[in-house]
Structure 1
Amino acid sequence: MSATRRRRQLAAALVVASTGLVSAGATLPAVAETPATTLYVDDTASNCSDSGPGTEAQPYCDLQVGADAAKPGQTVSVGGDWYKEQLTVHHSGEPGRPIVIEGRVDRYGQRPGVGLPAGNGTSATSHGILLDHVHDVTVRAFSIPHTVGEGILVQDSSAITVDSQHVDAGLSLDGTAQPGVAAVRIAGASHGVVVSRNRVDSSLGLGIAVEAGVSGAVVTTNVVADVASAGILVTDAPGTVVTGNTVVTNGTTGISLAGGSDHAVVENNVVADYGRHHGSGPRAATLAVSAASVAGTKVGYDTFSPNPVGDTYQWGADTYQQPAEFSAATGQGTHDLREAPTYSLEGAPDRGASGGSVDSADASAPGELDTDVFGHPRVDDPSVADSGTGKGYYDRGAVELTAYHSLVLDATPLRGPSPLTVTATATQEVNWSVHTVYTFDFGDGSTPVVSTVAQVQHVYRTAGKYRLSVTAVTDNDPNTATTAELDVPLTVEEPGPLVPDLRISQTDPRNDRASLSYDFDLTHSTSPWGLSGVQVDFGDGSAVQPDRYGWISHTYQRPGDYTVTATVKDAGGRTATVRQALHVTYGGMGFGANSPQRLLDTRTHGNGTHRLGPGESVTVRVDANAAVLNVTAVNPSQSGYLSVYPTGTPRPATSNVNFVAGQTVPNLVTVPTGTDNQITIYNFSGTTDVVVDLMGNYYKGRGDRFSAVSPNRLLDTRTSTPLVANETRAVKVRGVGGVPADATAVVLNLTSTGSDKGGFLTASPGWSATVGTSNLNFTAGQTVANQVVVPIGLDGKVYIYNHTGRAHVVADVFGYYGSSGSSLFTPVVPTRLVDTRQSSALGQGGVLKVDTGVPAGATGAVLNVTDTASTAPGYLTVWADGASKPGTSNVNFPAGKTVPNHVTTPLGANGAFDVYNFMGRSQVVADLFGYFAK
């Protein structure tokens, strides 16, 4: 694995390459970790058991159970993902025979998580790991989230090693920061505690804290970055060693010796700053040593980034900016540097360029390790003169500059039939001039290939999955070695053909796609080579669409029958074709009623809307597969019509709202949504304002079903009293006219007649009418109808509101929606079923039978029925063919006008409906917009 990859993965977990801490000084306690036995914990193992043996074959499930079972000299090896518990170490090891509890780091650098983050019911004292009154214990390689208390707390314990953890902390239960809470804290009468090679990142409190009463603590080779307060804080803890750490601050103190922390050692550290200091006050000193901590304390070989608004050093009561003046005044700070970092401070501080901190550390400093935070050995940069002491080439800080900045392994092909010839290529970025020898391990048991060339070939002769790796070494120095693995296993298959497999499904309606969208899945096609590409001809004349991965989506513009042709190609250069017939349909939809909601009113010119001119269109968005809209043309300049249709599909040759100059005309419209769930409203001629109210939605796979009923009159105020201005009248619908008790919405034909002034009616499920919308607009004396879909109130009623004047109201029921409904709705491309202008008018008392052509078994149809050029005022009645004519009306019209209305009607067993003309001679137009079927 390359150095860059390892460093990148540090943001998730520290990759531990070494299990021992090798000290160049005598400060570290001896921890000979050669356990007699190993216990195993893995909560992801299917057969794990807390009452089992804790073996690799059957591990414990619970981390605490495994830790409690450990005895001196044993190791608890922990796999799994995340243990949502606090680990409390209850048992101690013995000198030379510690208890070791360590996470197993996978090939991607991921390690087990321990602890509950704030917000998960955590108490204010929750930690990730707690060691209290124990000794001779090592905990290593866990990831600890933002706990409320310290991520790791060591209290009144000795000979403890906390190594290679990734720790955050300092988040309160309400989500605010707790600056005084440390990610790692050593407290009480603890002695000989080593905190090494840990990563503290984005902690909302302190980084590492060593507190009063602690003695002989060693804080070494840690990365502490982006914390809310001090990076490393030592308080009243004499003899503490702070060596080889990288601390990145936010205008706070990097390393602080507070209280009486005398006889400390602060060496080989790198302290940088993000430069995000906020506020007008001075920035804290980078290194702060209290007056009571000065005695016997040694400072040297540290590197500090420039601090233009604060001091580099605070030594007792005195402050210093430059290392030279600090050294001259105190005799401390020998070999200190003040320089800007030569590498990025974001994420894991990643040394990728030389600077003064390279090959300049004191290798003999107490607590200095011979591996860095990544587990890399110390190496000599030949381009930099060794200026350190001891071995002379140790780097300062927690990150060693290695020969290889990155190493990446690629292989071609990644899949194919045996025998398969594979070319493996290593690509490196180096930090200095190297003479690299590569060792390629092909993972099949063959002898690794050693080469000075970065590209080699290998033949796999047996089917299987193989892990490839390459190790790069410069100048035969094993300390420079770095390894990279292929990101995915290389797959060798048995020889075989390319077999295309096309699977077509209608797109999930929740994916914000048009109603006629389909997914074409070719990923199940098989070839030992693997697919290199596909292309699909959708059979509708659209462009052939290619794709690399075998999954393509396409939206058809209209329902119909299509032949889909898919071609697949594999990496071996072979092609194969498959064809499949596809019946494109909107599919059955359930209904969801809602109180009227205004989607568009061009009379209000905000949001870019304006009065529609001739040939202009406007769109509205509805988060559904189809919508029931009340569309109103307001004050048109001349006669014309509006057409409403799915956005992205061809405009149909049908109309939805017909009007004359100066007339305000509403009509109910049922229409599928198109591209991006939008619906287009097109104006044929002249100019007009348009109002669109949403009355309900249709959804694939959910919603209520519809049942048609024989038309039945629920209200006729002509037999009682008209509605006066601002009056709301209740109409009982549940349990009346065939509407059952579980109905959620009802389909009514609402008619106004005999009004003494112009106004509108609104139908709603409650007394508080939605006066911001309308269902039926009328002029004085006009008899006009409009179909409405109304949610039913909790009391089983709907409420009809009259805005102005006096008007008689007629309400006829045609169907209902509810859990006991029988049928789902399927939209169709608007289709003209009949136009008597092409034959002969329908005479007085005449009945016209109209075939719909819908599938057999359809129970109802959604129509737009228009009367035009009538010789006398009258009405049309629509009902199921073969049934008795009801005493209701659907379209009311004056002589000589063109009047449309939305009609939901039952169908006869033959799929037909009848139209009756009450008076005079009328031309009748009927357009089909959808049907209901069980």
Structure 2
Amino acid sequence: MVRKRHIAVLVALCAAVAGPVPSPAYASSTPTTYFVDNSDPSACSDTGPGSQIEPFCTVQTAADAASVPGDTVEVMPGSYLEQVDISASGTPSAPITFETGASIGRLRGAVITSGSDWHSGFVLSGASNIVIDGFTVAEVRSGIVIDDSSDVTVDRVIAGSGSADNAPIQVNGTSSHVTLSRDEAEGGWHTPGIAIDASGSGDVVTSDFVSSETGDGGGISVMGSSGAVITGNTVVEQCAPGISIGDDANGTASGATIENNVVGPNMSGCTSPGAGIVVGSTADTAGAVLDYNDVYPGTGVDAYTWAGANYATAAALNAATGQGAADLNADPELEPGAGQIMSPTSPLISSANSDAPGELPTDASGAPRTCAPGVTESGVGHSACYDRGAYQYLDTVTLSGGSEPTTPVPIGTSLTANAGTASSSWGSATFDYAFDFGDGTVVDGAAPTAIHTYTKPGTYTLTEKVTSSFGGSSSSRARFVISPDVPFTYQLSTSASGTQAISAVATITSAWQLTDATIAFGDGYSAPAANGAVVHTYAKPGTYPVTLTVDNVNGDHGSVTQQFTTQGSAYTPVGPVRLLDTRHGTGAPEVKVAVNHSVALKIAGNGSIPSDATAVALNVTVTDTAGNGYISVTPSGASASVSNLNYLAGQTVTNYVIVPVGSDGQIELHDAGPAGGSVDLIADVSGYFTHTAGDDYSPVGPARVLDTRHNVGVPTGKVAPDHGISVGALGIPAGAIAVAVHVTVTDTTGNGWIAAEPDGAGTPTTSILNYLKGQTVSNTVIVPVAADGKIELYNGGGTGSVDLIGDVAGYFSAGSTEAYMPVAPYRSWDSRKNGTALTAGGDTSYDLAVDQDTSGVQQFPDSATLITNITVTDVTANGYLIAYGASSVRPGVSNLNYLEGQTVAGMSLLATSGPAQQIDIRNQSSGTGDVILDVFGYFAS
């Protein structure tokens, strides 16, 4: 219910916990105020004087020191995990007082609670003339326990019990003249909220709010104490009797006064609800007075039990006993679940006996007994304005135009709290404004503003309460963060987070509240600078200005910009253009490349290739070979640990490569062959990659778009020598600038070469593969697409005709999203060393993410498109390979064709599966063979 939530919230807000309690400090011989404050463990001491400058850390230490009549223990806001035992005594004129600082109305500043030892809150034993004022005692065995003590006042305490069999407030033994006033008590499963189980006399329970958590707990129970006064209380949500007098083995409870109380409806779901008010035996009824209550326990429940007889109504009770003449049995019209606020038509308003014993001049919240306008006063006594129950019906106070300072602010800054303009629903009123700044400072007066300067950094809760002259009030809370006076600084750090993403981290120190902290990423997108990294993905690769802007309420402004270049690159097609031909001195000296030697080729700044090129797409041809060997193409300065194409003596072999450009703008083509071998090298560029321009990649298929043998893409018929064919049905969107296509030449009737270029580019001067009569050869190339959306394949250099096959693997366009990322070339698989060779007519899975030379795992996005060179060797029969992502359907196209005994290499753009970048390779052959897989980079979003 509502009260339980209130208690739990207060406990949750308080975090400080007291440690073991040392021996108490020496007490003074004259009345002293002892302070307790555990909010700063370094500033409190249980061996110190307990002064305001050096307070005690625990309430118990102060309780041990407070032994002189007139002593006061002032407990500052916080949570105190301890049981406070009190056995000292004051005098009627000089009681010993325990109070909590910074309390406004029902808002309590200090919380007494328990831990695993499950103790009680305050325990008084043999004490007298003690005042406990303004605490919250929650999540304990019992909140307040008063044993064999006298003249004790418990005022404005919120008490809860975590035990099923212990009342929140208990008065036991010979305790007498105990006053429980303006308290809130929440009963447990089997206990009332307030239990006076004593053989003393003269106990007073007045203006208390009592409820039951659940189960069969009741409200107020007086078992054996005579002359008890039960006046002006509100009891709601109970299952046992709301007010119960007598019927206890400790003795009778004669002479009780029960007036001006409200016993509201029982809790829903009670199995055996008790009557509203119970006075047990004939002995208990002796001298008892019951009047001016409103008893409304609920449908089907008797309002009273008097000396064992049940009465459904006050009229019936009065007729039989003469009691309850002015009692009501009407719906009190209380706010559901709370019981503190009544409706304007409630019968409780101005209907109490103001002269009832124990009645207070103010209600449970300290509000005055104000007559409500428009209500006929039916109350009796010195004032007709008193309401029945613990709370007075009050006006509604509203506030407008208030404002609180924006924090954090540095220590030493004066803050002005503004409650705003108050108005009363009852018309003209004056107002009192109370400001509790949460550090022990309370400003109370007629001004709607208060100025305060905090002396310690920390987080403080400002509580504002505005009270009208009619008694209505409105409260609000605001949190202030007071920071050390640090300098205003700001830093921005950036790092790559994937192919085209940035991770930006802002580090800001400001003693003042920030009004703006924004990161602009240079592409039109901005985001608030947050704790931790802000990740943003660019639509295109490039170099972007990233700017952090910071402002605070003090007028400080700062801005810092860093240039960030995405890791990924975009593609721009060219030519094709021949950059290297060692036969004719193009791009390098006119000399063959010796075995175990390299030729350097300038890329960046060469012709139409810009100086900021990050990688290049080339068709590489080795010819005039004097022995067997392989060619490795790498960035300048890199080791030649992988191969791009293999050759035999007298053979001409072609393969496509995508290779990063070295820091000097060059690449190297390395010849690794037998001693005495030498080769000529040819390289034709068809495109380049940069961070600042170009288009990204989209994988497709692979799909067959051309087969001159079967009327696919063009009419059936071989391509004649020195003739080309236009291929337009590429399965790519309009506006694509280049297409990745696997080209196969077969059924050759002579020797020659094949070129690929934009449609209509004229007679080509470069080639993508070379063939011999009767040979089937293939190569994956990236071909610029003409404005008409077509490419041209040209059969040149010979006299024989050929069949051509084309399989599209992907394309580059403005709408594509995968950028190119280079990696240091590595060998992911070599079945000659690691096993898992190709089986006859079978599928074999390979993980491309693993570098088998270092046992390291490359960090790729899941299912990236990997630039992979596939080499097949030691094959025992003719055949071809189909490579594809492991989770996809095997396509009906090939990646590599081979003859028995050949070593053949070919580049593929492979769409992979999962974080391991897994592919399957189908060996479409009756023989077996070894496979070698080298990775040169990838495309990914």
Q: Following TM superposition, by how much is the alpha carbon of 1:207 offset from its aligned partner in structure 2, in angstroms?
A: 0.7
Bigger mean CA deviation after superposition, 418-427 or 370-379 = 418-427
Per-residue deviation, residues 214-247 of structure 1 (Å, max 9, x unmatched): 3211111111123331111111222111111111
Unmatched tracts of structure 2, length 5 or more: 12-28, 569-694, 705-825, 876-892, 906-917
> Which runs of structure 2 are paired with 1:86-101 in the superposition (5 Å)?
86-101=83-98
Q: 2:182 aligns with which of 193, 197, 202?
A: 197
Per the alignment, residue 884 of structure 1 pairs with none
CA distance, structure 2, for counterparts of residue 65 and residue 442 of structure 1: 26
Match of 1:181 among 166, 173, 180: 166
Q: d(CA) in 2 for partners of 1:468 and 1:894?
A: 74
Distance in 1 separating the partners of 2:168 and 2:903: 80
Which residue of 132, 136, 139 corresponds with 2:132?
139
Q: Structure 1 CA distance, aligned partners of 2:465 and 2:920?
A: 87
Q: Call closer, same or farther: CA 1:557–1:826 in 2, change over 3 Å.
A: farther
Residue 569 of structure 1 and its aligned partner are, at CA, apart by 6.8
Report matched runs for 1:364-763 at 5 Å: 364-389=355-380, 390-407=382-399, 410-411=402-403, 426-428=420-422, 430-436=424-430, 477=469, 480=471, 487=478, 501=490, 503=492, 518=503, 521=506, 524=509, 531-533=514-516, 536-539=519-522, 541=523, 543-545=525-527, 553-556=534-537, 562-566=544-548, 578-582=560-564, 653=698, 751=836
Q: 3-state SS of the aligned residue for 1:211?
A: strand
Distance in 2 between residues matched to 1:347 and 1:546, nearest whole Å: 42
Q: Judging changes above 3 Å, is the alpha-carbon distance between structure 1 residues 188 and 472 closer, same or farther for their aligned structure 2 residues? A: closer
CA distance in 1 between partners of 2:866 and 2:552 (Å) = 49
Aligned to 1:74: 71
Q: Secondary structure at the match of 1:114?
A: strand
Residue type of the alignment partner of 1:784: T
Residue 337 of structure 1 aligns to a residue whose secondary structure is: coil
- Cα shift readout 1:61-86 (whole Å, capped 9, x = no counterpart): 22212101112210111125222221
Are 1:270 and 2:266 an aligned pair?
Answer: no
Higher relative contact order (CA 8 A, sep 6+): 1
Match of 2:762 in 1: none
CA drift at 1:87: 1.1
Quote the Cα distance in structure 1 between the aligned partners of 2:346 and 2:77.
40
Aligned residue for 1:146, secondary structure, equals: coil
What residue in structure 1 maps to residue 111 of structure 2?
A: 113
From 321, 330, 347, the counterpart of 1:356: 347
Contact 1:867/1:891 (CA < 8 Å) preserved in 2? no
Q: Distance in 2 between matches of 1:514 and 1:208?
A: 69
Distance 1:69 1:152 in 2: 20
* Residues 502/363 of structure 1: CA separation in 2 closer, same or farther (3 Å cut): farther
- Relative distance call for 1:127 and 1:424 in structure 2 (3 A) is closer
Structure 1 position 289 matched with structure 2 position 282: no
Residue number among 33, 38, 46 corresponding to 1:43 in the alignment: 38
Q: Are the counterparts in 2 of residues 203 and 226 from structure 1 also a CA contact under 8 Å?
A: yes
- Any conservation in 1 of the 2:263–2:297 contact (CA below 8 Å)? no
| Structure-2 change in CA distance of 1:576 and 1:264 (3 Å) | same
Aligned partner of residue 193 in structure 2, secondary structure: strand
CA distance in 1, matches of 2:227, 2:37: 39
Alignment-mate amino acid for residue 127 of structure 2? V
Which amino acid in 2 is paired with 1:58?
A: E
Match of 2:120 in 1: 127
1:73-104 superposed Cα distances (whole Å, 9 cap, x missing partner)? 10111125222221111222233222112222
Unaligned runs of 5+ in 1: 15-33, 172-177, 587-649, 660-707, 717-747, 755-779, 791-811, 817-822, 846-865, 879-889, 899-917
Q: In the TM superposition, what is the alpha-carbon distance from 1:212 to its structure 2 partner?
A: 4.1
Q: Mean Cα displacement is larger for which, 67-76 or 351-360?
A: 351-360
**Mapped contact 1:382–1:432 kept (Cα < 8 A):** yes
- Counterparts of 1:483 and 1:251, CA distance in 2: 32
Q: Does 1:224 align with 2:210?
A: yes
Taking structure 1 as reference, are residues 355 and 753 closer, same or farther at Cα in structure 2, changes over 3 Å only? same
**CA distance in structure 2 between the partners assigned to 1:348 and 1:505 by the alignment:** 58
Alignment correspondent of 1:61 = 57
Partner residue in 2 for 1:696: none
Distance 1:831 1:256, change over 3 A: closer
Q: Return the match for 2:201 from 197, 208, 215.
A: 215
Rg comparison, structure with higher value: 2
2:711 counterpart residue number: none
Residues 652, 830 of structure 1: 8 Å contact kept: no
Q: What percent identity do the matched residue pairs reach?
A: 25
Tell me the SS of whatever aligns to 2:310. Answer: strand
Give the Cα–Cα distance (whole angstroms) in 2 for the partners of residues 433 and 365 of structure 1.
31
Contact map agreement 1:211 1:234 (CA 8 A) in 2: yes
Cα deviation for residue 341 of structure 1 reads 3.5
1:246 to 234, 241, 252: 234
Change (3 A) 1:426 1:294: same
1:202 shift after superposition: 6.3
Distance apart, 1:187 and its partner CA: 0.8
**Cα offset, 1:258, TM superposition:** 3.0
**CA distance in 1 between partners of 2:150 and 2:934 (Å):** 94
Q: Quote the RMSD (CA, aligned, Å).
A: 5.8
Q: 1:252 to 1:272 in 2, by over 3 A?
A: same
Match of 2:844 in 1: 784
Which one-letter code corresponds to 2:161 in the other structure?
A
Given that residues 198 and 223 in structure 2 are in contact (C-alpha distance below 8 angstroms), is that contact kept between their aligned partners in structure 1? yes
Change (3 A) 1:526 1:135: closer
State the distance in 2 between where 1:290 and 1:874 align: 111
CA distance, structure 2, for counterparts of residue 398 and residue 382 of structure 1: 20
Q: Secondary structure at the match of 1:277?
A: coil
Shift of 1:185: 0.8
Q: What's the CA shift for 1:263?
A: 1.0
State the Cα distance separating 1:560 from its structure 2 match: 7.4
Shift of 1:383: 2.7
1:524 CA displacement: 4.8
Match of 2:152 in 1: 160
Task: State the secondary structure of the residue aligned to 1:39.
Answer: strand
Which residue type is aligned with residue 836 of structure 2?
A: T
Q: Say if 2:187 and 2:193, in contact at 8 Å, map to a contact too.
A: no
TM-score with structure 1 length normalisation?
0.55
Structure 1, residues 15-48: CA drift from partner, whole Å, max 9, x if none?
xxxxxxxxxxxxxxxxxxx993211122234232
Range with bigger deviation, 414-423 or 515-524: 414-423
* Pairwise CA distance, 1:491: 11
Contact 2:842 2:924 in 1 (8 A): no
Q: Does the 8 Å contact 2:197/2:224 carry over to 1?
A: yes
Give 1:146 shift: 2.5
Letter in 2 for 1:221: S
Q: Does 1:169 align with 2:146?
A: no
C-alpha distance in 2 between matches for 1:514 and 1:202: 63
Q: How many residues align?
A: 625
Shift of 1:897: 8.1
Q: Please give the alpha-carbon distance, in whole angstroms, between the structure 2 residues aligned to 1:35 and 1:374.
A: 33
Is 2:7–2:160's contact at 8 Å kept on the other side of the alignment? no
Please point out which of 85, 99, 103 is paired with 2:100.
103
Aligned AA (1:321): A
Q: Distance in 1 between matches of 2:334 and 2:76?
A: 34
User: Which residue identity does 2:109 align to in structure 1?
Assistant: R
Shift of 1:191: 0.8
- The SS at the match of 2:388 is coil
